[in-house]
Every structure is written in structure tokens, then in C-alpha cells.
Structure 1
């Protein structure tokens, strides 16, 4: 045969081909050389392959690419390309184009499988597999690659999203990630959850109890929620753009302290105070100057400063509760230190030393 598997017509049907070194010769078959004319006689042939001599039944001639094996004509290619040996164009030959995935060997006598990178009829197409193996039996590019585990698409160049295929995990508490090394699904607890060492499941993290929140304890309180937490503003604060800001109760409510006489409103962090006005104090006690009477039954009264000058004034001087100093009955008197005790003060009469206070006038 030729290297493409075809069987050429080297001799006439009534002749036999004799192989010689580097060549061949054609001689008349003894089956058809009974009269010396070498004329083909189809009546001597059966199955279109085996022709028997009318003179000697042990003399046969094999036609159309068959060979004599134990006095029987069989296709020559049965032994070199079993399953591919067929009669084509009148002669038996190897038909390596019968199925995809095979090609002719270099001598044309048998069929061999495609290499690692080719497929199709005659192995004429090249595979372009990235993460897979070439399928030699493919008949088109869509069948040309058998993908490795974890890969898909025509050329096996795309990772299979295992997480998208696997719906057994709870996406509300855990995330699924495809491992780039082996393509397996890796499950990671979502923020706000952690692995329970006993069950192995993702469970809620109490950020408030574990000091994992970012709540400012001075202005807010932490409240745990499933998978997260909330920072609730304390009383006296309001949420503005996610931050707890002090409420200025005095500006919001101008009459916040109106129920308390002689007071004014002062805003403080998280609250406010109703403080006594100037020269007023809680119960009139000067030690309670600017005292806060909010949410109390106390009163803001004029301050009594008599304790500042008690037992320090000699008549006619008197101790003033308003100023906390010794004062004279009128501006005609002069307030001076007492001559016999400079820790005391008294009043000199007009015309002193010729006029003096006699105890009553």
C-alpha cells in the first residue's frame, strides 16, 4: 500500500505481483494461464476474491488486495489494521479515516492514535486545552478538550465556581471562596460570626460583651444584634450621620428652666442644668452659688452673706446680709477699725472725737 493506505493497481486482475529487490514484476496468474492467453475469467472466482484453477483446485489466485493464507484469500490489511480494513475503490486497504482519533502510520499499513495535541479524522486538528487533555475522538472544537477537575469552557480555561454550584451553605452567615490551588470550596464566617469550637458552625459574635465594638461609651451604648451590633445614643444625644451628638436642650427648648424661679439654662454633655442667677443660691446659701435645682424641690433665693461679717461689727455698725460687710446707719458715719480690737469695725459719728455714739445715738 501507499503511505496513505491506498492499494495501487500495480498489475492486471489476471496477473500476480511478484516483489523484487527495490521493484516488482507482474506475471500471469496460473489460474488464468490455462490456454497461454492470460485472460481473466470471472466464472473461476467466488466472493469476488478467490479464483481457483480449473486444472488444479489447489492453485488459487487472490484478487483485490487479498492474500493467500492457508489456501484462503483474506484481505491483506486484516492483520495490520484490524477494524479499519475495508474494500475501497475495488481493493482492500486501511481506512484510518473511518473514525476520528486515528491516522495512518508512516508506511500506510496500519492506523495509529493521534498524539497528545491533535484530534479529529486523520488527526488533522490541533487541541488548545489550557487545563485539560486533548480528546482525540472529537469531531469539532467544542468536544476537543476533556477538562481537569474544577475547570470548564471549550478550552478548559475557566475555573468552575464551586460556590455557585453548591447551595448547601448559609450565605447569610458564611462566605464561600474557591481555592485557586485545588478548586475546592472554602467556607469562611462572615463578619459578625465566628466558628463555634463545639459545633464547627458559624455563630453570632457578641461584640458588646467581647469589647469588639467601636461604640463610644461616653455617648452611646452597645446593643448586640445577629451578625452585628448597634451603637444606641445615650439620653441627651442624637444620631447625626452615624455619630452621637450632644443635644443642646437650652437651644431646643427656651423654656426648659421656666418652672424654676431665678434660674438660667446651661447645656452640659448629655443633659442640661437650671442654675441660680447671680446673687442667688440654693436656699440663699452662698456655698451653693450657681447651684443646679433641676429635678429638685430646692429654691434659688437671694444670697445671705451675714456669715462673712458675723461678730465683727460694733454698734452702730451692723452686719449686712447683702454684702457680707459691716455697714454704718448712714453715709454721715465713717466705718473704722475699733480702737481696742482691730478685728472689729465700728462707725464714728460726725464731729468725732467731740461727738461719740452713746449706745443708742
Structure 2
């Protein structure tokens, strides 16, 4: 990356021709080497920075004397000289080939432990959908769409299948939980919401989904419901009544029989209820509205 980043740079003084005449070419200069070396490590990597500092002299030797014959810095420095790296697709002290070979470690379906380093054991960590020592087998929920001794393509089953041989819901070996086999031997959704009793609480309604269901809270105007909204109530909650197919607020304050019976009280309607408050010039004391005594 440092080579690419500095490839089109110069000394930065504004007069490239003069600088290169007096200071030699930037392309092969020590300044460019320093900029490349500074970019070799992430700023937070103490180990990498320490290693670069420790082998600074060897890096300079490569830059001025070996670069033409050994143009690949990573190979010359990291793999062949200080021997802390391995070529891609190999691992361990002797840079052995990963499982599946160095060209396609883990047969292209996983990650080789220690790949490119002098550590690791070369074992494969398989990608999603793949399993086995060589990452050639398919996990549950996937089927083998193509396979030979060195290649395997595992494809996801239909969402209804636990195991399968193909991509449709008729290719299931076994249905997942929340699905059942129909007369055509296809896995279809189980509608948990159609059964009795409902799997949800009395203040909830059931919403079916593919392979599952959810319980949603009824509208607060309802006492039991079959769906969302005030028009899906089985009955109305206290303080509400049925009106034109929906549950609406009862205005207790407009009823013929007064609900606020104390002297100097007035009624204020609220959603699903009401309040009794003292009229102007009066305040509540011990459940009674008494005349407000002016201060002083």
C-alpha cells in the first residue's frame, strides 16, 4: 500500500525538476523509503512498529541494493529474511500448505488457521453453510448444489426446511418448527393463531407469520381484541362504549345523573374516565371544596 500511495508523489517543494536534479529522483530516494516504512504498520500495532524499527537497516539494504533483484518487499523481508510470514495459502514454521492447497485454502469455503504466518495449525474454520475438516460438507439448512473432490457449493434450503435436497419447500427432508407437511409432502406454515385457545394473553391479539407468530397488545380501549385498532375490540374497556362499530370514550360529565356531587365541584372528562375538580375560588381540602382564603 505504501508503494501505491507514494507512487505519484514528489519531494513536495514545488519545483520537482530542480529537486530531482539536486536531490536525485524521489522514486528511489530515502525520503520515499521512510514514508513507505511509516505506513507499514497500523499506528496502534506495537509489535509491528517494534519489528520495523529493529530491522530498519535491512529495509535500507533492500531499498538501495536488493530492490531490483527482489521487487517484492513482503516476500524478501517478511518471508525470506526475518521469517515471520509465509506465502498466502501456507502456515506454520515451515510454511506448509493449508488444507485444500495453497491456491484454494479450505477449498475456498473457509479460513486456514495461521494462513500467511509462521503460526497456526492449518485447520479450517468453515464459512456459513459449510462444515467438515475440508469444508466440503453442507450444514443443516443447506444442500449440495455441486460437488467433487476439490469443490463444493452449498446452497441454502427453503426457509421451511430443516434439512433438504433442493431449493423448494417440496425438497425438505424435515420441516422446521412452525411448519408442517401437507398432502403434497411440502412444508407449509402452521397458523398458530387459528387454534383455540389463543396462544396470547387476553389483552393481546395473535399475528401469524411464516413459521412463527407474535402477540401484539390490544388497543387500550379494548377488553380483549381480534386485531389492531378500536374497531377490533371483543368488548370495550371500562369508561368506553360501543359506538358505530368502534369503542369510543364515555363522556361521564354529560350524563343526566351528575358524577361530581360535592358542592362547588365541576366535572372534567378524560379518555376512559373523568375528574372532579373544585371551581374557581375554591380548593380541595379533606375531600371538600372550601373557599380559598386570600394570603395575608
The TM-score normalised by the length of structure 1 is 0.23
More strand per residue: 1
Larger CA Rg, structure 1 vs 2: 1
The TM-score normalised by the length of structure 2 is 0.28
More helix per residue: 2
